[in-house]
Amino acid sequence: MSKPSIYDRYLPALSAEPSDTPAYWFVFRSNTGQLLLSDRAGLDAVPSAQHAETLGFTPVRSLFLGLLDGAPCYAAEAPDDAEPPEGFAFHSLRPLYDRMDEDLFHVAGRALQMLNWDDTHRFCGRCAAPLAPAGHEHAKVCPQCGLRHYPRISPAVITAILKDGKILLAHSARFPNKMHGLIAGFLEAGETLEDCVRRETMEEIGLTLGKIRYFDSQPWPFPNSLMIGFVAEYESGEITVDGEEIAEANWFGPDELPNIPPRGSIARRMIDWYAEQYGSRPE
């Protein structure tokens, strides 16, 4: 499946070269994680300035990200009380799928993840000494004990389970508006991705799976996940929800889908793919 890649527009780098070109600033307010944007479309919505101070605040921290459409780009954390400049507002990142280009959204997600990592890795977890940038890679090194600290990425699987032309959709008590999604969960130590798919499915709904195949992946910066999608065939068992992660689950045909996740998420992309393969596309 073809989808936008951040690397069509974005070139990562560790340090900035001297430049008179205004930079793009992915500015997040530190207490809410909200992103500063104008009401323009695409990259024009991202603030552009030589320095963050031009936007009316002194950043708590800033990190060079690389080049975006040929211009320098930075992640910056604004103070809790920072006020947006005229024509801009702070927005929660999660709902911005429908507003931002997908690749631009993922660059913004990268910025948020790197700021979170920089904030939570100021001291060594082994000896508590202050950490220093590694220099030649995105990492921090402890000058006292030598331990390296890399940005955390938490892999998680998400699975479309199919049986007799129907898809299994599940509702969690934390989902609003009776929304139904796919079975998902985080990888545990020692597991393969396929092991994780089978374990999460058995734990949450009591089913045994047959053939499993890779579908797609999506970075998910809330706070540092990588969602890895699979399509799996039902093999045996009756749906038995765990009552903790899953409140209810059932099989649905392509023309009888309940409320499902919003467009842009990998869950919605997988459900849309199912509906295209087996019937009409959901609205």
Binding-site residues for substrate, in ranges, read: 94, 137, 150, 218-225, 267
136: which strand partners? Answer: none
Query: CA-to-CA distance for 193 and 86, rounded, in angstroms?
Result: 47
Residue carrying the six token digits 């499902």: 260
Name the binding residues: 94, 124, 127, 137, 142, 145, 150, 184, 200, 204, 218-225, 245, 267
Cis omega (within 30 of 0) for bond into 223 = yes
DSSP string, 156-219: EEEEEEEETTEEEEEE-TTSGGG--B-EEEE--TT--HHHHHHHHHHHHH--EEEEEEEEEEEE
Q: How many CB atoms lie within 10 A of CB 195?
A: 14
Query: CA-to-CA distance for 163 and 196, rounded, in angstroms?
Result: 20
Name the binding residues for Zn(2+): 124, 127, 142, 145
Query: CA-to-CA distance for 176 and 94, rounded, in angstroms?
Result: 15
248: which strand partners? Answer: 171
Contact 180, 195 (CB under 8 A): no
Name the binding residues for a divalent metal cation: 184, 200, 204, 245
Pairing of strands 248-252, 166-171: antiparallel
- Which residues have CB under 8 Å from 8's CB, separation 6+? 103
Q: What are the tokens at 182? A: 């796919």
Contact 77, 61 (CB under 8 A): yes
